[in-house]
Structure 1
Amino acid sequence: MALEVPYRSIPDMFLQRVRATPNGQAFAVPNADDTAITWLTWSQVGERASAIAAGLAGLGVGLEDRVSILSGTRLEWVLVDLGINCAGAATTTVYPTTEPEDAAYIVVDSGSKILVAENPQQALKISGADTEVTHVILIDGLADANATPPQLTLAELEERGRAALAQQPDLVERIVETVGPDHIATLIYTSGTTGRPKGVQLLHRGWTWEGVAQAGLGLFESSDLQYLWLPLSHSFGKTLLCGILHVGVPTYVDGRVDKLVDMLSVVQPTLMCAAPRIFEKVYNKTVTTALGAGGAKAKIFGWAVGVGKEKVALEQAGKPVGGVLKAKFAVAEKLVFSKLQQRLGGRLRVLVSGSAPLSRDIAEFFAAANLPIMEGYGLTESSAANFVNRLGKLKIGSVGQPLGDLECRIDSDGEILLRGAPVMRGYHNLPKETAESFTEDGFFRTGDIGELDSEGFLKITDRKKDLVKTSGGKYIAPSAIEGMFKAVCPYTSQAVVVGQARNFVTMLVSLDEDAIAGWAAGGPLAGKSYEQIVTAPETQALIAGYIEELNGKLNRWETIKKFTILPRDLTIEHGEITPSMKIKRRSVETNFATQIDEMYAGSLVQM
């Protein structure tokens, strides 16, 4: 059945929300010392976004013109994005971690007229580039009167907009009337695990569809309090904004990932979406703390996890949980799981994971702790949210069922194909790549391999281009093995399987600095640097034990024959992971070619 969307565009959806609940809580920010949060109502958000829209219109921004935002996640990002759409324009997103060369490429390729930068340092990323930018708007810091292109602060832009609205009170409403479902709302450049970023043209039709489709899941309620820390430069963040607008979910906005765990206890959210890395870090911390305590505490922890997993296994199989097990679980919750729940704020109702694969073992651990993670799936090219598990309908190991009326089909080679409103119009200025991305009957080729079960639950088995084929002709799905290892070894930060055209499989491992320092604290490696700890024989032996445990779960041809602990973690700055935490395998293999060559030294390599 077709999903009914009662909006023509994002600004139409936004203005309807402002009119419906003007005094309702919209977005919150931390106070100066991070001890409390301050709310803006929908009416206040409406006023500020309208002022930004009118200010942009005064700078000559019109229908489908591009305005780039180069900033971290914060309230102003949301206000500017809404202001851009209310001016009829399209937001081009640039991650604040993007190198100057790539940032300038995105601003130039998108044809952006305006750049909104978080601060003067971010604005410098386009200096010297031949762009179409006529003005730079600074969120923080002072505008440079002598800069080219001319600069003004966001406060000045809003002031100009308010003055324009005093003259023409219906200015924004008139502009919004001209914006339709088939206009571009957003140009998001895929951070891409290969090659130059491509601009994905996403329409108002798809984003308003996302807002309505998310409401039907039971994951978003207007009574919720959401913690939004995800990069808003990423499609996952944008799709959540659409859900927020349609449902009216009060949302705390704070992109400081280093403050996440501390602020959870202040904000006490009921809803949080995250990339798997966040759940892995919580898992590592919980497990290593329990192991570090030793004795009775470690035993009780192990018992509680066992009880929780037994309960989850029965629920997953659709079998009743007996009275004895229920009683045991109540004890486990009181002694162990309640502490973990409190560390995450104590009120979490819904956790959603997306943007990269979540390890099955880690999903089982959180479900055992009564913090079930609703894993979902989607791509930038299809507005981020396409499949997701629902509360009470969670199938661990799957990414859930489709949203709304999205069509999905599995191609003859196992590739997942999608068709529907949230799918992009195409890649900006790339007609050949656009044509290659669609089947003749209009399905988008995701590049992911998967399978649908009889109830419509989708299971992703790997990226089509990430499948590793050994020289023996066996296919291996690296992300599945990497996810298993992260669950087996609580000291892992990243794991990368290597084996393409090789005669055996190896793995590069980076360790979680906090977790491994905690392990080292009681022994001869106490106080040593990360580099000293990872090269020590004791650490090598520790990780070798976990590799052995992993190999016990794998097919013979998948087993890890050798491993190397890396001298540092993988980083965005070194081009090894994308800002949405996906591994860029080619970059990793290039940057650590010496370590890989050492593992294969003397072995037969076939091309």
Structure 2
Amino acid sequence: MEEVLQLGDEVPEAALDSILEAQRPTQCCVLVYTSGTTGSPKGVMLSQDNITWTARYSSQAGDIQPAEVQQEVVVSYLPLSHIAAQIYDIWTGIQWGALVCFAEPDALKGSLVNTLREVEPTSHMGVPRVWEKIMERILEGAAQAGFLRRKMLLWAMSVTLEQNLNCPGSDLKPFTARLADYLVLAKVRQALGFARCQKSFYGAAPMAAETQRFFLGLDIRLYSGYGLSETSGPHFMSSPYNYRLHSAGRVVPGCRVKLVNEDADGVGEICLWGRTVFMGYLNMEDKTREAIDADGWLHTGDTGRLDADGFLYITGRLKELIITAGGENVPPVPIEEAVKSELPVVSNAMLIGDQRKFLSMLLTLKCALDPDTSEPTDNLTEQAVAFCQGLGSKATTVSEIVGRKDEAVYRAIEEGIQRVNMKAAARPYHIQKWAILDRDFSISGGELGPTMKLKRPAVLDKYRDLVDAFYREHKP
């Protein structure tokens, strides 16, 4: 720090004054490139006003406290090139005087938990995949624990989940819930590094209902933030005082929202307006005009509905919406979540069927990550092995299941998909073909973006031959 301060001594005050005087709220402050999940990355131009306004008011909506009230402590581990980390780690930290602790470079390869234990943040933000990995680690630990400890954890989580579902936000907890927390859950949270954490956030991608309920069972409420790079991050926020399960929260005060082209269920395209909305795309005036209409409304391409209290529920993306050859509009995410919920051995599920006669699906299995590279290995996770053993299968690797077409596992997956089909609204929503891939999705494999968001066009392109075979083999 002394060396940094000495660098400032070399710059004349007059030079600093001229730089400060030249600053304008409408000038571009930072470029954030979109992840390119639906096309080529675009340079999002965010102004000084975009950044400073969002850092102040969106973080207030998330109940982030100024240092004179409470010293917020956060761990920075996501790529700072992404808007979520930019706003949460850098600009909000500067705005409120947060203590920002930088994790090791291999944080996402397994060392993040060690940093969380050491730092004990008061506030933490993770993309859904990070929370899912924490959940899988807890489940694996529970599977290896003794009978009594496993039973104690399941009892404590069921008591706490029931309390949080029936009396959300209530500080008056029954004796059993307080006992469960004291005997079991407080120790689990401490082992995760969340002993002091009052606010746990997620964003950048949809989160499965199963994951949210799991953490509610640990008495960790996950607060959603919804926004885009084009809205400088969060335009909607949840907080301890502004929460509804499965909702993306309410619009940040000072911002506006409207839904266009609503259907009979009140679902329409989400359009946003306010000082969070970006200046435009770098050197892409045509793309900017496509995104922002003449009245300044940003068309997000996401679909959702608003309840009577203004809570937003995301239902999908217009570009992800599958329109079958028969003209049926099918949002893929609810069906994919239903499959993963029915089949705990499944890691990723991607629905296919755009301009096709029926729906099909690509599946990957839960596998252990290489501790050095964080790449998916061939070895199944403890949870996946337990699932297979429960079926009478001795498989411990993905290749054993896929290579030998393990009869017990394939039958169980087919039965799970049939259960999902039985709950579908109509036959066009049924999954008729599916395949298990021999490797889980990853960033390096090109299937996931930098925030673990599924890159559907990339997956379709990579497995085009397999997908085409679904429809060649189909006999009406």
Q: TM-score range by the shorter chain?
A: 0.7 to 0.9
Q: Does 1:341 align with 2:201?
A: no
Question: Which of 395, 403, 409 is residue 252 of structure 2 equivalent to?
Answer: 403
Per mean C-alpha deviation after superposition, the further-off stretch among 518-527 and 480-489 is: 518-527
| Corresponding position of 1:145 | none
1:497 and 2:351 correspond: yes
1: distance between equivalents of 2:155 and 2:37?
Answer: 40
**Contiguous gaps of at least 5 residues in structure 1:** 1-43, 52-160
1:516 aligned residue: 380
Letter in 1 for 2:48: H
Distance 1:343 1:434 in 2: 46
For 2:62 and 2:34, the matched residues in 1 are separated by 29
**Matched residues in 1 for 2:199 and 2:58: separation?**
13
Q: Quote the Cα distance in structure 1 between the aligned partners of 2:409 and 2:140.
A: 15
Give the counterpart of 1:168 among 9, 12, 18: 12
Matched with 2:376 is none
Listed one character per residue, the Cα deviations across residues 89-139 of structure 1 (whole Å, up to 9, x for unaligned) are xxxxxxxxxxxxxxxxxxxxxxxxxxxxxxxxxxxxxxxxxxxxxxxxxxx
Change (3 A) 1:278 1:586: same
Cα separation, 2, equivalents of 1:293 and 1:539 = 25
Alignment of structure 1 residues 95-106 onto 2, 5 Å: none
Residues 354, 430 of structure 1: alpha-carbon distance in 2 compared, 3 angstrom cutoff: same
| Identical positions, percent | 30
The 3 A distance-change label for structure 1 pair 529 and 472 is: same
Q: Which stretch shows the higher mean deviation, 581-590 or 596-605? A: 596-605
Q: Which amino acid aligns with 2:12?
A: Q
Equivalent-residue separation in structure 1 for 2:50 and 2:410 (angstroms) = 49
Say if 1:509 and 1:563, in contact at 8 Å, map to a contact too.
yes
Q: For 1:592 and 1:199, how far apart are their aligned partners in 2? A: 29
Question: Which residue of structure 2 lines up, in the alignment, with residue 219 of structure 1?
Answer: 63
Question: Residues of 2 paired with 1:291 and 1:553: CA distance?
Answer: 30
1:373 to 209, 215, 222: 222
Q: Distance in 2 between matches of 1:171 and 1:541?
A: 72
Q: Which amino acid aligns with 1:566?
A: L
Look up the match of 2:284: 430
What does residue 371 of structure 2 align with?
Answer: none
CA displacement at 1:282 relative to structure 2:
1.5
Larger Rg: 1
Partner of 2:410: 540
Q: Residues 206-257 of structure 1, C-alpha deviation per residue, up to 9 Å, x if partnerless?
A: 0000111134225322322111111111011111121111111111112531
The match for 1:393 among 236, 242, 248 is 242
Q: Do the aligned partners of residues 299 and 499 (structure 1) sit closer, same or farther apart at CA in structure 2, a change above 3 Å counting? A: farther
Of 434, 447, 460, which aligns to 2:301? 447
Q: Report matched runs for 1:243-322 at 5 Å.
A: 243-254=92-103, 255=105, 256-258=107-109, 259-291=111-143, 293=145, 295=147, 297-316=149-168
Letter in 2 for 1:200: V
1:595 to 457, 466, 470: 466
Change (3 A) 1:236 1:599: same
- Pick from 560, 566, 574: which aligns with 2:445? 574
Matched, 1:196 2:48: no
Count of residue pairs brought into register by the alignment: 445
Pair 284,488 (structure 1): closer, same or farther in 2 beyond 3 Å: farther
Q: Which amino acid aligns with 2:15?
A: L
Partner of 1:555: 425
Match of 1:361 among 189, 210, 213: 210
1:226·1:269 contact (CA, 8 Å) conserved in 2? yes
Distance 1:219 1:547 in 2: 41
After superposition, the C-alpha distances for 1:341-362 in whole angstroms (9 at most, x for unaligned) are: 1232122211100000111221
CA 236–328 in structure 1, closer or farther in 2 if over 3 Å, else same? same
CA distance in structure 2 between the aligned counterparts of 1:501 and 1:234, rounded to whole angstroms = 33
Tell me, yes or no, if the aligned pair for 1:502 and 1:604 is still in contact at 8 Å: no
Gaps of 5+ in 2: 263-267, 369-378
Letter paired with 1:392: Y
2:316 aligned residue (462, 472, 480): 462
Q: CA, structure 1 residues 292+546, in 2 after alignment: closer, same or farther (shift >3 Å)?
A: farther
**2:399 equivalent to 1:531:** yes
Amino acid at match of 2:75: Y
Q: Distance in 1 between matches of 2:310 and 2:432?
A: 37
Given the superposition, is the C-alpha separation of residues 403 and 604 from structure 1 closer, same or farther in structure 2, using an over 3 Å criterion? farther
C-alpha change, 1:236 and 1:266, in structure 2 (3 Å) is same
- For 2:462 and 2:47, the matched residues in 1 are separated by 38
C-alpha displacement at 1:604, in angstroms? 5.9
Matched residue type, 2:217? A
Shift of 1:419: 1.1
User: CA separation in 1, counterparts of 2:403 and 2:134?
Assistant: 25
Q: How far does residue 183 in structure 1 lie from its aligned partner after superposition?
A: 0.7
TM-score normalised by the chain length of structure 1: 0.67
Backbone CA RMSD of aligned residues: 2.9
Structure 1 residues 478 and 415: CA distance shift in structure 2, 3 A = same
SS in 2 for 1:216: helix
Aligned counterparts of 1:529 and 1:174: Cα–Cα separation in 2: 63
Following superposition, the deviation at residue 591 of structure 1 comes to 1.0
Shift of 1:385: 1.2
Aligned to 1:80: none
Kindly indicate whether structure 1 or structure 2 has the higher relative contact order, using CA contacts under 8 Å at least 6 residues apart: 2
CA separation in 2, counterparts of 1:552 and 1:351? 35
Cα distance, 1:388 vs. partner?
1.2
